[in-house]
Amino acid sequence: MTIVAPPTAAPAQPAPPDAVEARVRALGRHIAAGQAKAGRTRTRVLEDRGMELLARDPALRAALFRLVDVAPATSGRRDLAAHLASLLGEAQAADAPAGGFLRRASVTARSAATGRASGPAVGAVAGLAVHRMATRFIVGEDPADAVPTLAGLWESGAAATVDLLGEATVTTAEADRYARRCDEALRTLARAAQTWPARPTLDVVPRVNLSVKVTALTAKVKAEAPEIGIADASHRLRGLLRTAKAVGAHLHVDMESMASRDLITQLVIDLLGEPEFRTGLSAGIVLQAYLRDADEQLDQLLDGIQQPFTVRLVKGAYWEHETVEARQHGWDSPVYLNKVESDRSFERLTKRLLDHRPHVKVAIASHNVRSIAHALALAPDRDLELQVLRGLGDDLQVALTDMGLRVRTYCPVGDLVAGMSYLVRRLLENTSNDSFLLSRSRGTDLDQLLAKP
């Protein structure tokens, strides 16, 4: 790994705004150059072409949204491929931008489902293609299966956080099962990570990091009665915090839609306030900058949690869901309606979080080079973590590790059906018109993308 010093000069006093902007641009160009150097394989170029088609074709987007709905009910690769074929078939329209692509995809998916439409070989190839696409985003079917990839990441200078994919939790038995899987994952990963070589940049925090979803730990999430969900999820999350503390791992609580935000925030504050977790535990929560009241949530966390804890700052993955939900109920939208407002909120919260170190350990999770460069410009001491999603942020991961920065890659683990749903969600999220990744792949001028929001 080549360590390249990023172009920053650490000022003793807060830099004037113009100087910060100059540093953001210099850092942004440096990161972008590192991404270009990380290279793009031919497969990757084709996949990116698929994403571009997806961005331009509402019929294809609608088909994939529906696939996410039916995926949990499918019984395996063939069944999933059959559903994909029928949805793509419905979405076919000769004049749609992705018409040709849809026709080919539909035939291929049907072949995968039947194994015979264009010969068995095509079915096998299509099955493999689905598998390949999903494995760009997921690192294994279960934690043990994921260990070689996680060890490889560590070797290359990046840590990971593991997310166990699964079906929606609707019963107590499912919540128990998810908690058991998380517990086993913590133990399996902690055993494996003991043998990994020393990495001074990464070893300042626990090697093992598991991201968990509270809505998978309880079937009783109700926005109007959060105390029921808190009571039900508490004992399962407490058990996981105990295991994390015992094996020396970090436990991170992901943030989901607005319906569970207040419940998750209160649950984390309550549990981290319990005497057994006041010391010796590494844990954290997520702050979503697209929420209009994100500053208030941060105030609540800063007031409520006494020991050092990690905050992962994101923009938020449920923008479409929140806006549709608010419109349907005639509510004011809880999220900003202009992308630039979310970007500004992200930068304001970045500064607030950095100003609260060391009480807060800061993790900036974004694929937007401007957002990352801005955080780095405000933290010349580099005492922060940068997080990317496996499959979407691979070149960014390489560019940032080459700069000697602490990088963590979010690595989903699960079977193909769960992987497909995850994959589709990420594709839809990152092919919306305001997405930084899409703007970059369309060749928007870098200086324009690095401009102050």
Ligand X SMILES: Cc1cc2nc3c(=O)[nH]c(=O)nc-3n(C[C@H](O)[C@H](O)[C@H](O)COP(=O)(O)OP(=O)(O)OC[C@H]3O[C@@H](n4cnc5c(N)ncnc54)[C@H](O)[C@@H]3O)c2cc1C
Angle between helices 258-272 and 226-247 (to 10 degrees): 50
Site string for ligand X, 232-261 (x = CB under 6 A): ----------------------xx------
Which phi and psi angles does 391 have, rounded to 5°? 95, -35
Stretch binding ligand X (CB under 6 A), from 124-132, 261-269, 282-290, 349-357:
282-290
Least Å from the CB of residue 335 to ligand X: 6
Euclidean distance between CA atoms 453 and 431, whole angstroms? 20
Task: Provide the token pair at 168.
Answer: 């929606």
Least Å from the CB of residue 334 to ligand X: 11
Stretch binding ligand X (CB under 6 A), from 41-49, 125-133, 234-242, 427-435:
427-435
Nearer to ligand X by Cβ, of 349 and 388: the residue is 388
Q: Is 76 helix (H, G, I), strand (E, B) or coil?
A: coil
Euclidean distance between CA atoms 168 and 93, whole angstroms? 33
Euclidean distance between CA atoms 327 and 330, whole angstroms? 5
Instruction: Enumerate residues 304-343 that contact ligand X by CB under 6 A.
Output: 314-319, 336-339, 341-342
Class of residue 408 by CB neighbours under 10 A (exposed 0-12, middle 13-18, buried 19+):
buried
Euclidean distance between CA atoms 46 and 54, whole angstroms? 12
Handedness of CA 59, 61, 66, 72 (dihedral sign): positive
Site for ligand X contains 389 (CB under 6 A): yes
Choose which of 81, 85, 286, 301 interacts with ligand X (CB under 6 A): 286
Q: How far is CA 57 from CA 70, 88, 102, 450, in A?
A: 21, 12, 10, 27
Residue 153: closest CA among 423, 411, 426 = 411
Least Å from the CB of residue 239 to ligand X: 21
Nearer to ligand X by Cβ, of 87 and 256: the residue is 256
Site for ligand X contains 345 (CB under 6 A): no
Q: How far is CA 5 from the centre of its chain?
A: 27
Nearer to ligand X by Cβ, of 282 and 387: the residue is 387
Instruction: Enumerate residues 359-388 that contact ligand X by CB under 6 A.
Output: 365-368, 371, 387-388
Least Å from the CB of residue 306 to ligand X: 23
Least Å from the CB of residue 282 to ligand X: 17
Contact 99, 131 (CB under 8 A): no
Task: Provide the token pair at 249.
Answer: 């791992």
The DSSP element (H or E) to which 179 belongs, if any, is helix 172-193
Site for ligand X contains 194 (CB under 6 A): no
Least Å from the CB of residue 254 to ligand X: 4
Site for ligand X contains 108 (CB under 6 A): no
Nearer to ligand X by Cβ, of 110 and 374: the residue is 374
Q: Which residue has the tokens 């700052």?
A: 313
Least Å from the CB of residue 367 to ligand X: 4
Least Å from the CB of residue 77 to ligand X: 27
Nearer to ligand X by Cβ, of 63 and 365: the residue is 365
Least Å from the CB of residue 414 to ligand X: 16
Site for ligand X contains 214 (CB under 6 A): no
Site string for ligand X, 28-47 (x = CB under 6 A): --------------------
Q: How far is CA 89 from the centre of its chain?
A: 30
Handedness of CA 268, 240, 138, 403 (dihedral sign): positive
Instruction: Enumerate residues 62-81 that contact ligand X by CB under 6 A.
Output: none
Which residue ranges make up the site for ligand X (CB under 6 A)? 254-255, 286, 288, 290, 314-319, 336-339, 341-342, 365-368, 371, 387-389, 410, 429, 432, 434-436
